[in-house]
Structure 1
């Protein structure tokens, strides 16, 4: 495998050529996930076009996930010659937790070779592909956690949700026994309306 050499103000970095696996039709799929490098935190900057926003509650959950599970997804970047920085394509919020909250001096990244259009589209693709969790699947997850003995407050904490979200997801599953310990309340009242 040949290596790509990046000679930067932060040092010289050798990036292995991404291995490939065969996919449908005999084509090849590159695996840049297998070629991370570790760089100084100050060598990384955010892009200027990412429309994604994460609320504070989910940022707290992201921090908890990183601390509990380790850092499992490298920041996806490109090397920008003009800025002399690694520009984030995907992983800004993970980067923020590592840099500002955990105060890491070095961060693992993957470096793609994309032009501006491709990197902008990649950012949107990453965001949209991740998207929001499918409601039905989240409902099933809540049901499974409930079946394993977790109560509403535990589920809300572990999944970074409000109790109201847990209740809504329990409703979606359509299973009455999930509400067996909840007090009943009317959500609306019937009224006669003159026509």
Structure 2
């Protein structure tokens, strides 16, 4: 292992037509998160390569991780155009069983955002003068989620600019 080099040091640009989804990924992303992913890729670019296995016999790259990033490139004309139809990829050379395990590990390792930490982030952004609309647009939250997180934080000053009186 002295000469081991992580795949991330060998990112390559692969044309979309050479990439295939695997048939075993159980991960599903809801529409609002897919829209946020598209916005993230549009505003920040691809910041993480997809992980693929290269089937040399067919010269195809089978996704191990990154199906949703791949899907965005496939269905977003503006991103496809900007990226010239290329997806950043790292290649791992593993048998099918090991690739399945890698897919599951990648999915499970992402975890979930903790409510306490997210309410703290909303509180900091609000104190910094960011509007609820700004938070909605840049972090991908809806009004109800922001309200719940503000309530969770228990900070009355987060509601200072809101009118809660009855009409």
TM-score range, shorter chain: 0.7 to 0.9
Q: Distance in 1 between matches of 2:69 and 2:112?
A: 17
Q: Distance in 2 between matches of 1:114 and 1:147?
A: 48
1 or 2, which has the higher strand percentage?
A: 1
Is it true that 1:85 corresponds to 2:85 in the alignment?
no
Is it true that 1:32 corresponds to 2:1 in the alignment?
no
Q: Number of aligned pairs? A: 158
For residue 111 of structure 1, report the CA deviation from its aligned partner. Answer: 0.3
For residue 82 of structure 1, report the CA deviation from its aligned partner. Answer: 6.3
Task: Structure 2 unaligned segments of length 5 or more: list them.
Answer: none
Q: 2:28 aligns with which of 53, 69, 78?
A: 53
1:80-104, CA deviations, whole angstroms, 9 ceiling, x for partnerless residues? Answer: 3565421111111111111221334
TM-score normalised by length of structure 2? 0.85
CA RMSD of aligned residues (A): 1.9
Q: Secondary structure at the match of 1:49?
A: coil
Q: Which residue matches 2:140?
A: 160
1 or 2, which has the higher helix percentage?
A: 2
Higher relative contact order by CA 8 Å / sep ≥ 6: 1 or 2? 2
Range with bigger deviation, 116-125 or 88-97: 116-125
Show structure 1 runs of 4+ deviating over 6 A. none
1:6-37, CA deviations, whole angstroms, 9 ceiling, x for partnerless residues? Answer: xxxxxxxxxxx863xxxxxxxxxxx2111111
TM-score normalised by length of structure 1? 0.74
Q: Distance in 2 between matches of 1:117 and 1:183?
A: 57
8 Å contact from structure 1 (residues 18, 35) kept in 2? no
